[in-house]
Amino acid sequence: MTATARQESKGSGPFKVVGTRTTRHDGVDKVTGRARFGADISMSGLLHGKVLRSPHAHARIRSIDTSMAEALPGVKGVATAQDFPIIRGQALDFSGAVSNARVTAEVILAHERVMYAGHAVAAVAATSPHIAEEATRLIRVDYEASRVERLGSGEDTSPGSNIASHIQLKRGDVEQGFGEAEVIVERELSTQTIHQGYIEPFASTAHWAPDGHVTIWTTTQGIFGVRASTSAILGIPESMVKVIPMEVGGGFGGKASIYLDPVAAVLSKKTGHPVKMVMTRKEVFEGTGPGCAAIMRVKMGADSSGRITAAQFWLAYQAGAFPGSSVSGGATTGTGPYNIDNFLIDGYDVVCNKQKTSGYRAPGQCQANFAIETVIDELAERLGMDPLELRLKNVVKEGDRMPTGVPFPYIDLRKLEETMKTHPHYSAPLEGPNRGRGVAVAFRGHGGQGAPATMNVNADGTISLITGAIDLSGTRTTVAMQAAEVLGLAAKDVILTVVDTDSVAQTGTTAGSRVTFEMGLAAIAAAQEVKRQMSARAAMLWEVQPEEVEFQDGVFTCNRSPAKRMTFKELAGRLARSGGPITCSVYAPSTGIGPSFAGNIVDVEIDPETGKVDILRYTAFLDAGQAVHPGFVEGQMQGATAQGIGWALSEEYLYTEEGAVANTSFLDYRTPTSMDLPMIDTVIIQVPNPHHPFGVRAVGEVPIVPTLAAVANAVYHATGVRMTRLPMSPGAILEALEAKKAQE
Amino acid sequence: MQDFEYVAPTTLEEAVRLLDGNGLKVKALAGGTDILVQLRANRFQVDRLVDIKGIPELNQLSCSEADGLTLGAAVPCYRVYEDERIARLYPALVDATSLIGSIQVQSRGTVGGNLCNAAPSGDSIPALIILGATCEIAGPKGRRTVQVERFCTGPGRNVLEPGEMLVSLKLPLPKANSGAHFLRFTPRKEMDIAVVGVGASVLLDDARQRILSARIALGAVAPTPLLAREAGDLLAGREASEAAIEEAAKAARAAARPITDIRGTARQRTHLVGVLTKRALGTAIARAKEGKKP
């Protein structure tokens, strides 16, 4: 936190609570170790489950013999895909929504075919994790190895190819646009499979009670998603499954998918005991959904004034073993910061024998942004223009259309880009050899699905706010702050609890940067309803009309008789004896979260003898709309930037010749450590969102999007080498420098 | 990971008896920062772990201008780099011990364990080689001494026979006008394994212009950490000049026998041997020149 940031803790704008840096509701539990995460469950009779995974990247399963495993003392049960009713009840079908429960079942336990090395094949429940693990080694699987599709390049577009789907977006006439161009840049770029790298591995405990009720304690981004998938896979009604959320040690999109819950439930049914399953880090890397690798081709032209006349963008994203990559995320946003009259965008969803990919913070958008922003940087260089000037020349504004054709609502990307351009970092001298500065700008659009909330007034004047939205990043606090703002209370007096699936209405998954915005709308709606009911109660007690009661700064007054005055707390204390408690449940429909924009300026220094990149200075910019909790917003910006730097410089799945992941630990999957990262300075601009009463915008994902390209552009300006493949590892940079030297 | 027997003897004799497992798979446990991770990853199995941390002789750390350094096999890295006498006399050992793993690993992991683990990339081993360390070994047949550069015999393998254990490392007192440095290349600044590690020590003449002798040791470029003898020897009698350093770097590159793996290509490693040898020699010479005049 910078000194200036610390000073503004009194709050900004017209708000008392929103905009302050209040203490995090779950902070003490988290720092004292009291918070309970997925693996912290224990109960009597608990068994431990372990999964057997395929060593083959692609093979037919001829047979599975579990008899030796079952005979091992301590083993209580073994499960295979045959134990999922949906496997026999439905055929695999990729025609509709690709993430249907039948496909999920196939990912969770392979049936007939293993599709990637690490694909789960069977599971064992035993009296200790060690016995369960040993038993998995006693399961005999007869595999018939098949041809491994590793490339996933999207080159082969013939029928029967491994392209699962194709998305196309177009506007104008690109040939005509390229004809008007003074300068045209063409590049092919690629990024590799990367993992979200959440600290907490997947963990789930299930108990199948004799009456058929299934209870699941799990680490997830969405309890209702777990309930829907689990009940569908197990062939039981949703009402028979109760999902209890544990604290989540990082998700970043990866924990919107499920892997263990139905397996633990089946093992519990078979054994009559609760069964707990916790993945190892190796299992997380090889058995859960990473982010997509991508190959992209960009052709962009601009006239001598810097106006972009045409853009052609070809994207092939590796979905992994089953369809459903994030290519549409890239295709619909990559060119988003620019108002381009002529474009043609083709996105391909390509399957190959790798892990089925999952979302990762702004799914699909970082890859596309890396491609587009690299080419924008090169266009600026070829035109002799300042790269931010070129961006400003083509900046989108309210009423311009997104690549999807949807018009932009009220936005001010120009303000963000001008803030970057006038920031001291942008003009600071960067002297010395092997140093360079890079910039990039990113757009992310957000949908919305609405959110329910329940609110109760407690006799001591506090509020219980009950939701089903998993808190990944401090949203208990940011949502409570919005209710507190409406009710004139302190943030700490709104106690937000995230409850299980039986205790609250259907709530969407925590994803798409939506909780502070959408659950905030629900909290505001509930607070307004509580305010209405409280005013009515005051009116009843005072024997006046409800319209005569006013509520301001936490105090009820009667405009007819100034002597009548009650604080929120005083009135709360009188509820029980004046008609009973006040409670309400609301559903706030989505107003559409809308776009967010972010930008980065970064300085790097390269060691030309080793190829190592050192980051000298980093400034992240974000239009947060009204920042509900500026400290949390800065945290999102810094965390996202750290992940983006890892993606840019050091993170990638390495595969063996046979298609297995070779680096299944954090030792060789190189997420940057704190020592590898610079202090990441943050600049929040606040262009209010017209779709939210306080002007809030989505902040969780867009800050990662510009980082890959910003770092790559800085590396270019330091070395003169365009790194078109990520990560820009020391070895890769060294090779590129050698190749450049050989050319000269 | 399967069940195993854990024993914690308090005398060398008892430890030697327990380590000679009579067919059982037995390993010595010091800090456990390698062995526990390897057991959990099912890299191998053991029937018995002999915790040697309770044996007084193995916790010995004595450093004096008279006898040099005696470093017990169970002394964790932090005790090495927090010792002011070691920092003054053996800065290259501080270079190495302060970059093994992380602060947490250094609080537990030992130099002796790093050596016995015999990883080609073991960070402390090139430093021990250039400083002329010897290994004190105890076993059923009594004691013996081995030069540290002969201790490792292959990846994960060393000269210890069943029942034998490393007791301590002895480092001779550095001569006046000498200096040494260890450095490695890793993509990350911590929590990483050397792509290449290089240690260099030099002894200068009294005028501190000419190199009398030098040792260069390489890590992660052969099945074991390597003493690049020719590279060091060719510096003997030479001016401490850029040209001489360049020649030594070339000889070090020639001595390297790297492989390509997920941490680096053979080509990259050979290149880095040259780069790091020059840097290691540069700092070693600078340190030799900085030292007190005899």
Distance from B5 to chain A by nearest Cα, in Å?
A: 15
- By residue count, chain A amounts to 744
In B, what residues contact A, Cβ < 8 A? Answer: 1-3, 41, 102, 185, 187-193, 195, 262-265, 268, 271-272, 275
pLDDT for residue A107: 96
**Residue A568 forms part of a structural domain:** yes
Query: Which of B230, B225, B234 is closest to B257 using CA atoms?
Result: B225
| Nearest-by-Cβ selection for B190 from A663, A675, A735 | A675
Angstrom distance (rounded) from CA A348 to CA B14: 67
Angstrom distance (rounded) from CA A289 to CA A319: 10
Is there a single domain that holds both residue A231 and residue A322?
A: no
pLDDT for residue A10: 44
Residue A499 CB: number of other CB atoms within 10 A?
15
The model's confidence at residue A458, banded by pLDDT at 50, 70 and 90, is: very high
**Residue A171 forms part of a structural domain:** no
The answer for residues whose C-beta is within 8 angstroms of residue A3's C-beta and 6 or more apart is none
**Residue A555 forms part of a structural domain:** yes
Question: Region A24-33: what's the mean pLDDT?
Answer: 94
Is there a single domain that holds both residue A116 and residue A210?
A: yes
pLDDT for residue A630: 98
Is there a single domain that holds both residue A135 and residue A223?
A: yes
Q: Of A287, A321, A343, which residue is a domain's last?
A: A287
User: pLDDT tens digit string along A51-86?
Assistant: 999 999 999 999 999 999 999 999 999 999 999 999
| Nearest-by-Cβ selection for A734 from B188, B191, B268 | B268
What is the residue type of A451?
Answer: A
**Residue A539 forms part of a structural domain:** yes
Distance from A503 to chain B by nearest Cα, in Å?
A: 40
Question: Region A305-323: what's the mean pLDDT?
Answer: 96
Chain A residues touching B264 at Cβ < 8 A: 731
**Domain CATH number, residue A269:** 3.90.1170.50
What string of H, E and C letters represents the secondary structure of A516-529?
Answer: HHHHHHHHHHHHHH
Mean per-residue pLDDT of chain B: 96
For B160-185, b where at least 16 C-beta lie within 10 A, e where not — what string? beebbbbbbbbbeebeebbbbbbbbb
Angstrom distance (rounded) from CA A369 to CA A377: 12
The model's confidence at residue A384, banded by pLDDT at 50, 70 and 90, is: very high
Is there a single domain that holds both residue A599 and residue A476?
A: no
CB A660 within 8 A of CB A55: yes
Contact between B268 and A612 using a beta-carbon 8 Å cutoff: no
The model's confidence at residue A475, banded by pLDDT at 50, 70 and 90, is: very high
Tell me: pLDDT of A7 over 60: no
3-class SS of residue B179: strand
pLDDT for residue A96: 64
CB A22 within 8 A of CB A477: yes
> Lowest-confidence range among A159-168, A616-625, A725-734?
A159-168
Is there a single domain that holds both residue A579 and residue A598?
A: no
Distance from B262 to chain A by nearest Cα, in Å?
A: 7
The residue among B42, B104, B189, B253 with the most chain A CBs within 10 A of its CB, best to mutate, is B189
Contact between B2 and A675 using a beta-carbon 8 Å cutoff: no
Chain B residues touching A134 at Cβ < 8 A: 2
Tell me: pLDDT of A9 over 50: no
Tell me: pLDDT of A676 over 90: yes
Is there a single domain that holds both residue A376 and residue A409?
A: yes
Q: Which two tokens stand for residue B192?
A: 């990483």
Tell me: pLDDT of A104 over 60: yes
User: pLDDT tens digit string along A420-436?
Assistant: 999 999 999 998 999 99
The model's confidence at residue B1, banded by pLDDT at 50, 70 and 90, is: confident
Is there a single domain that holds both residue A426 and residue A486?
A: no
CB A112 within 8 A of CB A61: yes
Q: Does A654 touch chain B (CB under 8 A)?
A: yes
The model's confidence at residue B53, banded by pLDDT at 50, 70 and 90, is: very high
Tell me: pLDDT of A716 over 50: yes
Q: pLDDT above 90 covers what percent of chain A? A: 93
Contact between B275 and A609 using a beta-carbon 8 Å cutoff: yes
- Burial class from Cβ neighbours inside 10 Å (0-12, 13-18, 19+) for residue A619 reads buried
Distance from B128 to chain A by nearest Cα, in Å?
A: 24
Angstrom distance (rounded) from CA A403 to CA A381: 25
CB B266 within 8 A of CB B220: no
Contact between B185 and A612 using a beta-carbon 8 Å cutoff: yes
Q: Does A357 touch chain B (CB under 8 A)?
A: no
pLDDT for residue A729: 97
Is there a single domain that holds both residue A203 and residue A300?
A: no
**Residue A163 forms part of a structural domain:** no
Residue A294 CB: number of other CB atoms within 10 A?
30
Question: Region B257-280: what's the mean pLDDT?
Answer: 97
Angstrom distance (rounded) from CA A601 to CA A711: 8
Chain A residues touching B277 at Cβ < 8 A: none
Is there a single domain that holds both residue A493 and residue A642?
A: no
> Lowest-confidence range among B41-50, B208-217, B246-255?
B41-50
Contact between A654 and B262 using a beta-carbon 8 Å cutoff: yes
Distance from B253 to chain A by nearest Cα, in Å?
A: 15
pLDDT for residue A92: 87
| Nearest-by-Cβ selection for B263 from A612, A668, A672 | A668
Is there a single domain that holds both residue A323 and residue A411?
A: yes
Chain B residues touching A130 at Cβ < 8 A: 1-3
The model's confidence at residue B286, banded by pLDDT at 50, 70 and 90, is: very high
Tell me: pLDDT of A401 over 70: yes
Contact between B188 and A282 using a beta-carbon 8 Å cutoff: no
Residues 664-683 (A) with a CB less than 8 A from some CB of B: 666-668, 670, 672-673, 675-676
Is there a single domain that holds both residue A128 and residue A233?
A: yes
| Nearest-by-Cβ selection for A670 from B185, B188, B264 | B188
Is there a single domain that holds both residue A612 and residue A719?
A: yes
Question: Region B90-94: what's the mean pLDDT?
Answer: 98
**Side by side, which strands form the sheet with B196-204?**
B178-185, B196-204, B211-219, B226-227
Mean per-residue pLDDT of chain A: 95
**Residue A15 forms part of a structural domain:** no
| Nearest-by-Cβ selection for B262 from A663, A675, A730 | A663
| Nearest-by-Cβ selection for B262 from A282, A610, A668 | A668
Query: Which of A660, A632, A545, A642 is closest to A19 using CA atoms?
Result: A632
Question: Region A167-187: what's the mean pLDDT?
Answer: 98
Angstrom distance (rounded) from CA A679 to CA B247: 40
Q: Which residue has the tokens 């009604």?
A: A237
Q: Strand A308-320 relative to strand A343-351: parallel, antiparallel, unpaired?
A: parallel
Distance from A259 to chain B by nearest Cα, in Å?
A: 22
Query: Torsion angle, CA of A176/A179/A183/A188, rounded to 10 degrees?
Result: 60
3-class SS of residue B151: coil
What string of H, E and C letters represents the secondary structure of A631-646?
Answer: HHHHHHHHHHHHHHHH
User: pLDDT tens digit string along A493-548?
Assistant: 999 999 999 999 999 999 999 999 999 999 999 999 999 999 999 999 999 999 99
In angstroms, what is the C-alpha Rg of chain B? 19
Contact between A612 and B1 using a beta-carbon 8 Å cutoff: no
**Domain CATH number, residue A432:** 3.30.365.10
User: pLDDT tens digit string along B174-193?
Assistant: 999 999 999 999 999 989 99
Range of the domain at A252: 39-147+197-287
The residue among B4, B45, B191 with the most chain A CBs within 10 A of its CB, best to mutate, is B191
Residues 125-164 (A) with a CB less than 8 A from some CB of B: 130, 133-134
Angstrom distance (rounded) from CA A658 to CA A613: 31
**Residue A176 forms part of a structural domain:** no
| Nearest-by-Cβ selection for A670 from B185, B187, B268 | B187
pLDDT for residue A154: 63
Angstrom distance (rounded) from CA A451 to CA A447: 13
This model of the complex carries an ipTM of 0.94
Q: Which two tokens stand for residue A13?
A: 């704008």
Domains and CATH numbers, chain B: 5-51 (3.30.43), 56-171 (3.30.465.10), 178-288 (3.30.390.50)
**Residue A620 forms part of a structural domain:** yes
Q: pLDDT above 70 covers what percent of chain B? A: 99
Distance from B44 to chain A by nearest Cα, in Å?
A: 14
pLDDT for residue A326: 96
| Count of domains forming chain A | 3
Q: Does A650 touch chain B (CB under 8 A)?
A: yes
The residue among A673, A674, A738 with the most chain B CBs within 10 A of its CB, best to mutate, is A673
pLDDT for residue B41: 86
Q: Which two tokens stand for residue A44?
A: 């009597």
| Nearest-by-Cβ selection for B265 from A609, A673, A731 | A731
